[in-house]
Structure 1
Amino acid sequence: MSFSAFLHSGVLKLKGGSSASDGSPTEAYQVNTSKLSVRLWDVFSRTFDLGVTAFGGPPVHFQIFYRRFVDGAGKVPWIDDQTYQEIFAVCQALPGPASTKMLFSIAQIRAGLIPALLVFALWSLPVAFAMYGLSLGVQRIDNVLPDPVYALLSGLNAATVGIIALAAVQLARKAITDKLTRLLVLFGGGAGLCYNALWYFPVLIVVAGITTVLWDCWLRGWIRTQVETRRARRDSNVPEPHIETGLAGAQPSPQAPYADNPDGLQRRPAARRSSQEDIELTDRNAETERESVKVDENSTETPTPSPHSISGHGIPVKIGILLIIIFALVLTGLMVLRGLLRAPPLLLAIFNNMFLAGTIIFGGGPVVIPLLREYVVEPGWVSPRDFLLGLAIIQAMPGPNFNFAVYLGALAAISGNAGRSAATSLPGAILAFLGIFTPGIFLSIGFQSIWRALRKRPEVVSVLRGVNAAAVGFVFTAVYRLWEIGYLTKEAADSSRGVSLGREPWWLLVASATFTAVEWFGVPPPAAILAGGVAGLGWWGVVKK
């Protein structure tokens, strides 16, 4: 709620342009089929700034993508609302960084694979470089930071909580379409609060998808049939009026339940028969309507193509399946090495851990944090203080939160060497970057090839409806988890977790003010987050100084 390319052929509008209400052509929802240089400039001009302006983490990124690529932000939209909702659900159903997969797939829909790779680089590399620089500097600072730094970071975290809470509310407004999806949002959020494990979030996603399939494809129809059957039985049990058969010319009452039975034999009720006739009439009307939309063979008018007929920049099925097989083989090989080598080389171990994390993480940033802690702090590669400091800073950075792996990979590489130079840490940062991002992007490209066929099936649509709702619930979980580790103090410097923001009422005020400023006064999220950091410094100056 992370893979949009799979939807491009099914939900985009006309490839060659559609007609507006006034008959003039419009470019809305077009696939860009120009030459490669034009397509590269097209995606660059629309996405070059996202890597340095998209603050707030994945929940806020989803809203930014909606405004820019669905609403259009004053330019030609790239996708429609239905496509956006389906992309969000599929991104949550696949492992890896959801907002990165979503942006990558939207670019693939618009311009193809190579432009999508350019967008991925523009999106992820700016903060990756920043986090790598932080890894070089963090080794040279004291173990205990000055109080104003803790106050600044705590203010940034509190403001981020407010931004994520707002994003959760906005996503819920779109995901909730009926009572079932409302319950699934509650289910995802509540279940995510109660427990946290690597296998847990994928199981919740599967349960939500199965629930909507059972309801949409079987249970709702079964309940409707039972209700109609009981209603028909109740109507058929109405007492038949007494008929004086001895009177000449007596006729059955037209109010009798068997009004079509003048000979007294019990036949099908009149109501049932009329219902069947209505169904047959509806079928005949539907057939007539289908015939009416057929284009005359002798007509010179070009028929309007179906959205499902657009090929766009799709990946061939054979190539997609091949990519999925290659990914499975690489994952299997890494797992075998992980089990056979008691003391693998440090760089191989870093790439292995990050690749595994990128493969088994569902739900985005809130889930990756405890897993990465286990993979880098427990082996002794990164100190608890450095882990917590990097965590606080990445929350205040734009772009994908998975860039946290670059910081950790660089520190891990330094830990295995006597020197602390850039030459020592750079290989670890690069391998961590490739390891954490490769699984999600690879699977997105692979599944894109089969998605066009899958999305036409009603059960798949039902699955996405449930996955989408549960994934929105996970966003509410993210609010809680960041809240519980957002307050940074000297006492927390020796642990890998912060302290709950609830210990200081000021942070609740900062989070609430951020929510209000962005929602009702249109303050840009980056400005609101920076204002939260200033509020943290102001609190320190008044209370702690």
Structure 2
Amino acid sequence: MEDTHRSNQTYGDQIWDLVLRTYDLGFTSFGGPPSHFHIFHRRFVEEGSKRPWIDEQTYLELFAICQALPGPASTKMFFCIALLRAGFLAAMLAFLIWSLPGAIAMFSLAIGVRRIGEVLPAPAYALLSGLNAATVGIIAVAAVQLARKAITDPLSRLLVTLGGCAGVCYNALWYFPTIMVLGGSTTLIWDCWLRAKWGRFLARRQQARQSANPSRVVEENEAPATDITSRETSSIALVRRNVAPAAAGETPASPATPRPESRISVVYGLVIIVVFFAMFAGVMVARALASNAPRTFQLFSNMFLAGTVIFGGGPVVIPLLREYVVQPGWVSPRDFLIGLAIIQACPGPNFNFAVFLGALTLPLTPASMALGALIGFSGIFAPGLILSVGFQSLWRALRSKPAVVSILRGINATAVGLVFTAVYRLWEIGYLTVDEGQGISLGKNPWWVAVTAGTFVMGDSFGVPAAVAILSGGVLGLAWWGVVGARGG
């Protein structure tokens, strides 16, 4: 049994197990947060032969919590899984394993960008466009797969749809958190209040029909009102059981899969949360009062603010980072878009984009670039990880409450809808040319539409790994340039 095995493990054994299970993720997790969530489910929930770390319900709860907290969603998810598995030090090790490969790659890119001219060779734009188009297809695959898991009843289907539509129509710092709060409030009202009223209404209507026509016999193909209510109630029960939706095509977690508990007490969790918000207030006050503060502090405060107020992960943080580093003149629009194209094709968290931007913000010497990269890295990741530690300790006391489970069901469905928003926004800036360095919609060129659609089919229908699919997009981009671009077409 898994519980017995875990109890017999020393702390060193747990660390070694974590390294063996996660050492490759920083190099192979392509496709951004939506793909990352699918990878985590496959790696830590489904693999029964390798002793799953968490059960299906814990995974769904962590997903909703990480979406509801600010910061990099997939990084928080990975950090929380490792924290539950082996404690804080193991979680920090997992975070470094997860984030450092992509961070080093983005720092190397920043060094290279400082040495290139204002205009890239035409094949480079074709390569970047192909990588972007393929990445959009991979993210679309992950969005569809997450939706299959999140949709358990008509209400969750409606929330996924409305979340995606609302996210496409508008974008602001306060907007995405508000959408998720509305989603959680909707399921809370329905599950804890309206569902019972609706069931009683259907029961009374059926009784009235039977009173009006006592001889009427209910046909076999007509479901009684009580059955309707029962089917509706099953949606929330599905979230509370350790069972994956059958539509997802996944294997349910084994009954022996452990239900890990937080290793941090509620008191310490509350202290961590209070200290964090005190620190955040101090940084923001200093940011407002110090008009001539050093650029290092301005960079840290901007990244710290971004990591605290951004909900929804990497695709959501891009517009805010652009405002924080391009408008002050720290990073050129061309360099920003080059980094944006490359980060989509890099493994690991999209928040590593802050490493690239931080290095370009302090470009005087290699040492100053390294300092800027470190400031960007620590500033943008710290808020989400700190809050994850604090709130995970509170979850043990909250997760048994039906109202909390209901709220998380709505947050989960709405957050999955916002993943489709990320697909749309990346689609709209995915095509780069020598003349159009601001990014053009992939829909402007049929070839990039074909690359995106082909990548989607490769990932969804044939299970092609994300890394292979994205590299294929880059090759197809170069092929397009060889046939059309080189002739000026």
Settle same-fold status: TM greater than 0.5: yes
Structure 1 residues not aligned, in runs of 5+: 1-13, 18-26, 240-254, 256-274, 276-305, 415-419
2:484 partner SS: helix
Could you say which residue in structure 1 is the equivalent of 2:203? 228
Distance 1:143 1:88 in 2: 42
Distance 1:478 1:404 in 2: 16
Could you say which residue in structure 2 is the equivalent of 1:512? 453
Determine if contact 1:518/1:524 at 8 Å carries over to the other structure.
yes
Distance 1:230 1:517 in 2: 50
Could you say which residue in structure 2 is the equivalent of 1:318? 267
What amino acid sits opposite 1:144 in the alignment? Answer: V
Q: Identify the match of residue 382 of structure 2 among 433, 438, 463.
A: 438
Could you say which residue in structure 1 is the equivalent of 2:398? 454
Counterparts of residues 107-146 of structure 1 (less than 5 Å): 107-146=82-121
Q: Which moved more, 1:516-525 or 1:179-188?
A: 516-525
Counterparts of residues 353-432 of structure 1 (less than 5 Å): 353-414=302-363, 420-432=364-376
- The number of residues matched between the two structures is 448
CA offsets 1:331-353 (integer angstroms, 9 cap, x no match): 00011111111121111111100
Distance 1:124 1:33 in 2: 30
Counterparts of residues 342-353 of structure 1 (less than 5 Å): 342-353=291-302
Could you say which residue in structure 2 is the equivalent of 1:327? 276
* 1:72 correspondence with 2:21: no
Q: Identify the match of residue 463 of structure 2 among 519, 522, 527.
A: 522
Q: Identify the match of residue 427 of structure 2 among 483, 492, 498.
A: 483
Distance 1:167 1:310 in 2: 26
Distance 1:54 1:148 in 2: 26
Q: Which runs of 4+ in 1 moved over 6 A?
A: 306-311
Q: Identify the match of residue 3 of structure 2 among 16, 28, 33.
A: 16
Q: Identify the match of residue 465 of structure 1 among 379, 399, 409.
A: 409
Deviation at 1:132, TM superposition (A): 1.0
1:198 partner SS: coil
Determine if contact 2:70/2:384 at 8 Å carries over to the other structure.
yes
1:491 partner SS: coil
Distance 1:468 1:452 in 2: 19
Distance 2:354 2:142 in 1: 24
Distance 2:261 2:443 in 1: 50
Could you say which residue in structure 2 is the equivalent of 1:161? 136
Could you say which residue in structure 2 is the equivalent of 1:170? 145
Determine if contact 2:53/2:258 at 8 Å carries over to the other structure.
no
Distance 1:338 1:174 in 2: 42
Residues 503 and 127 (structure 1), Cα distance of their counterparts in 2 relative to 1, 3 Å cut:
same
CA offsets 1:252-289 (integer angstroms, 9 cap, x no match): xxx9xxxxxxxxxxxxxxxxxxx9xxxxxxxxxxxxxx
Deviation at 1:231, TM superposition (A): 3.8
Residues 476 and 337 (structure 1), Cα distance of their counterparts in 2 relative to 1, 3 Å cut:
same
Residues 157 and 238 (structure 1), Cα distance of their counterparts in 2 relative to 1, 3 Å cut:
closer
Q: Identify the match of residue 473 of structure 2 among 528, 532, 536.
A: 532
Distance 1:518 1:307 in 2: 31
Counterparts of residues 97-112 of structure 1 (less than 5 Å): 97-112=72-87
The CA RMSD measured in Å over matched residues stands at 2.0
Residues 73 and 235 (structure 1), Cα distance of their counterparts in 2 relative to 1, 3 Å cut:
closer
What amino acid sits opposite 1:543 in the alignment? Answer: V
Distance 2:444 2:258 in 1: 57
1:456 partner SS: coil
Distance 1:178 1:238 in 2: 32
Residues 109 and 32 (structure 1), Cα distance of their counterparts in 2 relative to 1, 3 Å cut:
farther
* 1:337 correspondence with 2:300: no
Q: Which moved more, 1:477-486 or 1:106-115?
A: 106-115
Could you say which residue in structure 2 is the equivalent of 1:58? 33
What amino acid sits opposite 1:482 in the alignment? Answer: L
Q: Identify the match of residue 418 of structure 2 among 461, 474, 487.
A: 474
Could you say which residue in structure 2 is the equivalent of 1:4? none
Distance 1:69 1:15 in 2: 13
Determine if contact 1:95/1:439 at 8 Å carries over to the other structure.
yes
2:194 partner SS: helix
Distance 2:421 2:258 in 1: 39
Could you say which residue in structure 1 is the equivalent of 2:482? 541
Determine if contact 1:32/1:110 at 8 Å carries over to the other structure.
no
CA offsets 1:100-149 (integer angstroms, 9 cap, x no match): 01111111122121111100000001111111111111111011000000
Distance 2:304 2:298 in 1: 10
Q: Identify the match of residue 82 of structure 1 among 47, 54, 57.
A: 57
Distance 1:102 1:540 in 2: 39
Identity, % of aligned positions: 60
Could you say which residue in structure 2 is the equivalent of 1:7? none
Distance 2:382 2:326 in 1: 23
Deviation at 1:228, TM superposition (A): 2.3
Distance 1:33 1:325 in 2: 36
Distance 1:311 1:388 in 2: 42
Distance 1:166 1:32 in 2: 38
* Structure showing greater Rg: 1
Determine if contact 1:155/1:510 at 8 Å carries over to the other structure.
yes
2:362 partner SS: helix
Distance 1:15 1:218 in 2: 39
Tell me which protein shows more helix as a share of its residues: 2
Determine if contact 1:72/1:78 at 8 Å carries over to the other structure.
no
Determine if contact 1:58/1:98 at 8 Å carries over to the other structure.
yes
Determine if contact 1:33/1:111 at 8 Å carries over to the other structure.
no
Distance 1:125 1:203 in 2: 32
Counterparts of residues 20-31 of structure 1 (less than 5 Å): 31=6
Deviation at 1:383, TM superposition (A): 0.7
Structure 2 residues not aligned, in runs of 5+: 216-225, 227-254
Could you say which residue in structure 2 is the equivalent of 1:271? none
Determine if contact 1:32/1:39 at 8 Å carries over to the other structure.
no
1:394 partner SS: helix
Distance 1:162 1:310 in 2: 34
